[in-house]
A and B are shown apart, each in its own frame.
Chain A
């Protein structure tokens, strides 16, 4: 019997021939048994094959920093849905169904993900036409005094579009359904072909507030396929930029959370300090979002000795100011009263849904790619993982703050010991017929890129999983049994990406 999986690690490659292809029932068995043995799905997607649609599943085993890969071939018009046994697969299966016009047999919630045209289909059958965006069979609660609230796609404020459908009994939310797809730009389709500048720009804009997180994952994919290791100095600069991205976004989120509970001092201060962190990134590469900093082979901009000193000074000032702003939250009982017990996601729910990032850690799940599957500078310098217990808005707020403190420490440490040498290395030829995987820990959590190359070294499939893909159902669960008026606050405490999911 073939082994159920082959193994690689973060930033590793496998020859496509090495990956075991199981019969559908053996695949389902192997996948469920891996999940019950402590593995977790990081990516699960379809690829057009000559004789059907091939499904690849990538799993993480954190204590060994190992990634396992298995596959199966779908030749009929349906595939087994395992969502009932493993809810963390629910959106992956819906996505496979939509992208390859397949039927997820036994899926409890077989609905569109992006209302997008299919990427492929079974040989000999035409791909399904996508349904009109927003037209779908929404879950509905019937009964006296039950009412429905529909919000979006256009929201108040400068916010990405998405549709939310609440089933309410009075103020109480019985169910929230999140329906996305409005931001669908066709990124995965455009990521087919030879790797190059255009693809790097697409990676940076998969979720533009995670430019470094996604940009680094893309660079790692190309480097893995080309067997190129970026210089140590480049790895340090990438790490600094990733932590600056985390600091900027966490600061913005903490400000927005305090704004949503009506506590304006911290909201005002953080709105400005967030910009200070963005400007630090602009100091390195000219762009506040870190555009064009991370390139395959290293980084396009070096930190001069002077630049590093200035950055260290700015970090010191920002730490002082942001600590001052955030401390007010913990000292204000009316703020804490709004945060505590609001939007609870239990550890069990977080585990079942496969949440990632600060949202998972706030519910007590101890997972962080920087430690579990270390990449780049994080293989050399550890960053402590912060978790909470209560799974409420308070925990998601507190975890963010604790992470910020660690990021500030990390940047100071890196600036004090920047390795010398080059910042960029020439990238060689991309290997043909390989699978490469890259995971980074963006500020929202785990960013996963997987690429498959064809015989000429072009991407035949490029699969992107933004952390928000795992976490939107966490937000829906956080609302269950809560007040509809708490939605903005809960939403802010997750602050998920629409474009990262819609791609």
Chain B
């Protein structure tokens, strides 16, 4: 017992100060892309051709679809003109699918808070039921990590719960395999209304690396309505938490 107490003292208090203080991310972290479409020569498609999942558009000016993007940065490696680079900005989540398609010079369309009525219901307590629908384990791991002592999700009134009956929101990861489609829909139905849906990661948004496979549905869109899209492959836990706190109007 004394050893456990000594270990507790040694391990210390480790819950991070975020959101009161910013959380430093690694130098090589790849977040919100910076686009300089003005540098693109006419008819150049090098970046679009290099993208493994077709996240880049060149036709009406340079655009990146954060919902498809795997943040591999093959596009910036392929571009000799420096038109695409990835910043260290972790804020990526949005409410609407179309808000994830970004262009140079456009205003950032990050997730907005729920309306007043929904905030009065969920603002102080929001419980998630996770359904893994073909995820590779990475989105799941970095969702799970939010419940560890470092992130301590509970301090925001947020929690992953065991039953859909106890939940306010469905947390979807994975591209929605054909073999998980029915289980996903049944779980959604089992959550009492009003309810929210969160699509966490590139797979749940648009299929991720599996986009186009005959065995997957390329994400939850078209199956159930989504309230929050969190891009990334997988999203950094900070990107996830940032999205949730924006939804609940907890970020200044």
Contact = CB atoms under 8 A, between A and B. Distances in A.
B148 A271 contact: yes
A202 B179 contact: no
Interface string A104-136: 000000000011110000000000000001000
Contacts of A151: none
Interface string A138-159: 0000000000000001101111
B73 interface: yes
Nearest to B161: A156
Contact of B29 (A160, A181, A286): A286
Interface in A306-365: 321, 324-325, 327-328, 331-332
A275 B209 contact: no
B198 to A, nearest CB: 12
Max chain A C-beta neighbours (<10 A), residue from B14, B134, B163: B134
Nearest to A209: B137
Contact of B216 (A181, A185, A197, A328): A185
B7 A265 contact: yes
Contacts of B145: 271, 274-275
A464 B175 CA distance: 20
Interface in B189-214: 208-210, 212-214
A141 B33 CA distance: 58
Contacts of B25: 282
B209 A198 contact: yes
Interface in B1-55: 3-4, 7-8, 10-11, 14, 25-30, 50-53
Contact of B187 (A154, A197, A282, A328): A154
B132 A202 contact: no
Interface centre among A185, A198, A265, A287 (most CB of B within 10 A): A185
A26 to B, nearest CB: 36
A328 B214 CA distance: 49
B215 A279 contact: no
Interface in A159-184: 159-161, 181-184
Contacts of B11: 269, 321, 324-325
Q: Sort chain B's interface into a size bin.
A: 35 or more
A271 B214 CA distance: 37
Most A CB within 10 A of own CB, among B70, B138, B144: B138
B30 A286 contact: yes
A279 B26 contact: yes
A211 B136 CA distance: 9
A210 to B, nearest CB: 8
A398 to B, nearest CB: 18
A59 interface: no
B63 interface: no
B213 A190 contact: yes
B228 interface: no
B225 to A, nearest CB: 20
B135 A272 contact: no
Contact of B215 (A116, A252, A499): A116
A456 interface: no
Interface in B144-162: 144-145, 147-150, 160, 162
Interface size grouping (class) on chain A: 35 or more
Contacts of A265: 4, 7-8
B215 A154 contact: no
Contact of A160 (B70, B140, B214): B140
B183 interface: yes
Contacts of A286: 26-30
Contacts of B210: 185-187, 190, 202, 205
Given A185-B177, A186-B215, A272-B149, A197 B130 contact: no
B52 A184 contact: no
Nearest to B236: A288
A292 B215 contact: no
Given A156-B163, A184-B215, A269-B11, A275 B150 contact: yes
B174 interface: yes
A171 B247 CA distance: 45
A492 to B, nearest CB: 13
A409 B116 CA distance: 55
Given A157-B160, A205-B138, A271-B149, A324 B215 contact: no
Contacts of B50: 197
A198 B130 contact: no
Nearest to A307: B27
A182 B132 CA distance: 9
A285 interface: yes
Contact of B208 (A187, A205, A287, A331): A205
Given A159-B140, A269-B7, A499-B134, A185 B213 contact: yes
Interface string A276-305: 000100111111110110000000010000
A89 interface: no
Contacts of A289: 138, 141, 234
Contact of B132 (A160, A201, A282): A160
Interface of A: 114-117, 133, 153-154, 156-161, 181-187, 189-190, 196-198, 200-202, 204-209, 211, 252, 265, 268-269, 271-272, 274-275, 279, 282-289, 291-292, 301, 321, 324-325, 327-328, 331-332, 497, 499, 502
16 contacts: A116-B179, A157-B130, A158-B160, A160-B132, A160-B135, A161-B132, A183-B174, A185-B177, A189-B213, A189-B214, A201-B72, A208-B136, A208-B234, A211-B138, A265-B8, A292-B73
